[in-house]
Chains A and B, each alone.
Chain A
Amino acid sequence: MGLTGMVKNPRWIVYSLIFIALLFIPRILSIHDLMLFEYGITFAIVGLGFNLLLGYTGLLSFGHGAYFATGAYTVAMIAKYLPQAYSLEILIPAALFFSMVLSIIFGFVCVRHTKIFFSILALSLSMLLFALLFKLYHITGGSDGLRVPLPTLFGMSFKGIRRPEFLSGTYYYFLLGMFSVSFLVMKGIVNSPFGKALQAIRDNEVRAELIGIRVRRYRLYSFIISGMFVGLGGALWTFVNGHVTADLSHWVFSGEIVYMTLLGGFGIFEGPIVGAIIFTYLKLYAMGNTQYWMFVIGGTLIVLVLLLPNGIAGAFAGLWTKIKKGVEET
């Protein structure tokens, strides 16, 4: 679709309107809500990456926390050991590079299998990383984790600025820019011939192989791209959180990535974005209001699976299709 096609497409009009609205968010939300929203945006990037593997390639990973942790620890380790390179324009490519390296290594092992074997392998490997991050105390800070100071950006220093001010100013727009680029790149990927090949593998592995697609290789490509997006989300998340711990590579955190993708709906491109934002608020408000917050999260998942198997965005998309069909018939 060319630029003119995009302008005429209602979907792209909605995207553009949402983007314009997002530019004004720091003026509308309180700093607390803005931080929450920023957590949501970083998880939205994670969801976009995770869904390339789940929704478009048909592989369910319970170990994507590993790539999130890689992105996050890349930032924290550079802050600790290479402070002279602690600048966003270096940190982001570094996080992408290291999450790519880890995705290649872990992916090479995982994509040799599918279904439950793939999921368990992904989980096991992420727990291996968790053990390393947890035990190598002198390097990684172990259970205490590592503090993440404010970075510089193209020589611009934020010394003397408090984190909330940083997050509501430059960083918000940087984050929004990174999200927009991630969104456009992933949109391009899923609609490209490469994306079609992944969907072919998801729908019929045998047929895909017998039209000449090298199934295992393309699964690995999908795994690597997915890991890089999740690593990017992890790196961007550290500046909002200010601190990283080994828990990021724990399977419980990987489970949260799965949860937010299911919440929004993995059958629709925008689903994981919606899921990530809602999950961020849901978890915080559940945690703030009851000690049984896990009950709320678990209960929501049960309701979701039983009543909205296509997720929240999927349900809305289904409703929209029905309304459109109804209007056309009348």
Chain B
Amino acid sequence: MLTIDNLKKHFGSVKAVDHVNLEIKEGEIVSIIGTNGAGKTTLVNLISGYIKPDSGRIQFLDKDITYAPPYVRIKLGVGRSFQLIQLFSNSTVLDNVRIALFSKYGMIRRGLLPADRYSSVTDEAIKILDSFSMSDKKNLTPKGLSEGDLKILDIAIAFALKSKLLLLDEPTSGVATNDKFKVMDSIVKAIKKEGISTLIIEHDMDIVSGYSDRVIVMHEGKVIAEGKPNEVMENKEVKATVFGIVS
């Protein structure tokens, strides 16, 4: 589904992403781990089109999207959430999801009928909120939500874009420890139901091993290990660079 060949992005002397190769298959949940500055978020920014690479190639569903603008990638089915939550702060929870749906369906050009008149979109937005157990908060603005709910809403927006590939940048950061699994359960349940491929950036190893089919480890812009969660955790190089355990 997603193939990355030799992708490179340097910021001056900093090698944020350095000749990275990776592949994500249909329906797979892959986690990327690594220390701060390993290049995880830069990689997600490159895949989502938020920044452009220096060289290399990104292929999604057999189409070259290396330099495609974000709206093209979204049309193809690449959606993302953010480490620092990005919401439409003055709109209700329902409208946050509805705007994404209007955009997905190319309806944002429609300028005279009120948004409320598009009842099929409203129903669909409520259904999406339902699948994330958030429909009871549909009339609140983001200011009235907990950190966990904000994260879920951020992901629900990406989900509303009917993404075939979801890029989730630290979906549980800032969420209280006892809410983390609740948040992840709700996200993974919705993802699995739709068979969406997912790339998760995560620091919490319990989350990584609990929800991922495969783990990719990055360090200083390079992929240093890849495999099943338990295999990767036992890798000596990973233990040394990511967990600081020298055996």
Q: Which residues of A contact B (CB under 8 A)?
A: 1-2, 185, 188-189, 191-197, 199-200, 202-204, 206-214, 218
User: Known contacts being A1-B117, A197-B102, is A210 close to B48, with CB within 8 Å?
Assistant: yes
Compute how far the CA of A197 lies from the CA of B100 in the bound complex, rounded to whole angstroms.
9
User: Known contacts being A1-B117, A189-B112, A194-B110, is A210 close to B88, with CB within 8 Å?
Assistant: no
User: Known contacts being A192-B111, A192-B113, A204-B89, is A197 close to B75, with CB within 8 Å?
Assistant: no
Query: Which of B88, B104, B161 is A204 in contact with, Cβ under 8 Å?
Result: B88
User: Known contacts being A209-B70, A210-B70, A211-B74, is A1 close to B116, with CB within 8 Å?
Assistant: yes
Residues of A within 8 A of B109 (CB): 193-194
CB–CB A211/B115 < 8 A = no
User: Known contacts being A192-B115, A196-B108, is A213 close to B88, with CB within 8 Å?
Assistant: no
B91 at the interface (CB under 8 A from A): yes
CB–CB A206/B99 < 8 A = no
Q: Which residues of B contact A (CB under 8 A)?
A: 48-50, 69-71, 74-75, 80, 82, 86-91, 95, 98-100, 102-104, 107-118, 157, 161
Residue of A nearest to B49 (CB): A210
Shortest CB–CB separation between residue B100 and chain A, in angstroms? 5
Residues of A within 8 A of B103 (CB): 197, 211-213
Interface SS majority for chain B: loop
Compute how far the CA of A202 lies from the CA of B91 in the bound complex, rounded to whole angstroms.
11
Compute how far the CA of A204 lies from the CA of B110 in the bound complex, rounded to whole angstroms.
20
CB–CB A193/B110 < 8 A = yes
CB–CB B70/A188 < 8 A = no
CB–CB B87/A196 < 8 A = no
Residue of A nearest to B102 (CB): A193
Report which residue of A197, A206, A211, A214 has the largest number of chain B beta carbons within 10 angstroms of its beta carbon: A211
Residues of B within 8 A of A210 (CB): 48-50, 70, 74, 80, 86
CB–CB A211/B161 < 8 A = yes
Residue of A nearest to B142 (CB): A203
CB–CB A212/B74 < 8 A = yes
For the complex of A and B, the 8 pairs showing the least CB-CB separation, nearest first, are: A194-B111, A212-B74, A207-B86, A197-B108, A191-B114, A193-B102, A188-B112, A212-B71
Residues of A within 8 A of B71 (CB): 209, 212-214
16 A-B pairs, CB-CB below 8 angstroms? A189-B111, A193-B102, A193-B108, A194-B110, A199-B88, A200-B91, A203-B87, A203-B88, A206-B50, A208-B88, A209-B50, A210-B50, A211-B99, A211-B100, A211-B161, A212-B74
CB–CB B86/A192 < 8 A = no
Residue of A nearest to B118 (CB): A193
User: Known contacts being A193-B102, A196-B102, A218-B108, is A203 close to B115, with CB within 8 Å?
Assistant: no
Residue of A nearest to B89 (CB): A203
Compute how far the CA of A218 lies from the CA of B102 in the bound complex, rounded to whole angstroms.
14
Compute how far the CA of A196 lies from the CA of B122 in the bound complex, rounded to whole angstroms.
13
Query: Which of B50, B88, B161 is A200 in contact with, Cβ under 8 Å?
Result: B88
User: Known contacts being A204-B88, A212-B103, is A185 close to B112, with CB within 8 Å?
Assistant: yes
Residue of B nearest to A188 (CB): B112
Compute how far the CA of A185 lies from the CA of B75 in the bound complex, rounded to whole angstroms.
30
Residue of B nearest to A217 (CB): B71
Residues of A within 8 A of B86 (CB): 204, 206-207, 210
Residues of A within 8 A of B161 (CB): 211-212
Report which residue of A196, A202, A210 has the largest number of chain B beta carbons within 10 angstroms of its beta carbon: A210
Compute how far the CA of A199 lies from the CA of B161 in the bound complex, rounded to whole angstroms.
18
Residue of A nearest to B84 (CB): A206
CB–CB B115/A196 < 8 A = yes
Residues of A within 8 A of B100 (CB): 211
Residues of A within 8 A of B82 (CB): 207
Residue of A nearest to B109 (CB): A194
Report which residue of A188, A207, A214 has the largest number of chain B beta carbons within 10 angstroms of its beta carbon: A207
Residues of B within 8 A of A189 (CB): 111-112
Query: Which of A195, A208, A209 is B111 in contact with, Cβ under 8 Å?
Result: A195
Shortest CB–CB separation between residue B145 and chain A, in angstroms? 15
Shortest CB–CB separation between residue A215 and chain B, in angstroms? 9
CB–CB B111/A207 < 8 A = no
Residues of B within 8 A of A208 (CB): 88
CB–CB A196/B98 < 8 A = yes
Compute how far the CA of A194 lies from the CA of B103 in the bound complex, rounded to whole angstroms.
9
Shortest CB–CB separation between residue B77 and chain A, in angstroms? 11
CB–CB B90/A203 < 8 A = yes
Q: A204-B89, A207-B88 are in contact. List 10 more A-B contacts (CB 8 A).
A: A188-B112, A188-B114, A191-B116, A196-B98, A199-B91, A200-B99, A203-B87, A207-B86, A210-B70, A210-B74
Compute how far the CA of A176 lies from the CA of B226 in the bound complex, rounded to whole angstroms.
70
User: Known contacts being A211-B99, A211-B157, A213-B71, is A199 close to B90, with CB within 8 Å?
Assistant: yes
Query: Which of A1, A194, A212 is B75 in contact with, Cβ under 8 Å?
Result: A212
Compute how far the CA of A213 lies from the CA of B80 in the bound complex, rounded to whole angstroms.
14
